Amino acid sequence: MNIGIVGSGNVGSTLGKAWARRGHKILFSYSRDPKKLESLATLAGPNTRAGSPAEAVQFGEVILFAPPWPSVDHALKAAGPLSGKILIDCTNPLKQDLGGLEIGHTTSAAEEIAKKTPGARIVKAFNMTGAENMASPHFGAEQATMFICGDDAAAKTAVAKLTQELGFEAVDAGPLQAARLLEPLAMLWIHLAYAQKMGSGIGFKLLRR
């Protein structure tokens, strides 16, 4: 599968490299440092290259959208039309001091991005844990759970498969409106990892009887 990355920071670069190792073709884009972007593509191997956000959108069957929250509008403008694309939204609308969410409960980052990207098939995923867990989601014999949500069933199926390839247990949390629950879950992870000093090597697991 061709995957375009818009936002090649810790999350975008980690996921892109992991999928490239599994045979997917990756185009990294949207970095503050173009030289760093080229270096990332070189180090990640023959399945990857660097380009502009618009090139990433043209290239990708799936677009991983992972810019910092303050850069979302700029990144969307640089990406151009996204109609028909599966857009994996990894963003969290964090306050500058990481002390809470700028929006939430009656809307979500995912829903606001959906309003700005008519026709995009948006799936919320990869927002509730750190990049190191995305690189290695196994905790001994257990798989960390990755909740996903969206309104397009086929898009969710595609994203669930990509999620499972990385080693996560993918759990469908329902329609895109459920991002109002998943984004505060990211705040819980940040709080536990940093304020409570549990460290970033923690993850969530859904248990069943």
Instruction: Please check whether residue 36 lies inside any domain of the structure.
Output: yes
Instruction: Please check whether residue 206 lies inside any domain of the structure.
Output: no
List the CATH number of the domain containing 143. Answer: 3.40.50.720
Can you give the residue range of the structural domain that contains 84? Answer: 2-195
Instruction: Please check whether residue 205 lies inside any domain of the structure.
Output: no
pLDDT band at residue 111 under the 50/70/90 scheme:
very high
**Tell me, what's the pLDDT at 47?**
96
Give, rounded to a whole angstrom, the gap between the first and last alpha carbons of the chain: 35
CA distances from 106 to 27, 112, 166, 179, 198 (A): 34, 11, 32, 10, 30
Task: Give the CA diameter of the chain.
Answer: 50
Mean pLDDT of 136-165: 97
Token pair recorded at residue 164: 């499972």
Q: How many domains does the chain have?
A: 1
**Tell me, what's the pLDDT at 45?**
93
**Tell me, what's the pLDDT at 34?**
84
Handedness of CA 56, 58, 64, 65 (dihedral sign): positive
Q: Report the chain's mean pLDDT, rounded to a whole number.
A: 96
pLDDT-above-90 percentage for the chain: 94
Predicted TM-score (pTM) of this structure: 0.96
Q: What is the DSSP string of 22-67?
A: TT-EEEEE--S-HHHHHHHHHHT-TTEEE--HHHHHHH-SEEEE--
pLDDT surpassing 90 at residue 198: yes
Instruction: Please check whether residue 204 lies inside any domain of the structure.
Output: no
Instruction: Please check whether residue 128 lies inside any domain of the structure.
Output: yes
pLDDT digits (tens, 9 = 90+) for 64-100: 999 999 999 999 999 999 999 999 999 999 998 888 9
pLDDT band at residue 104 under the 50/70/90 scheme:
confident
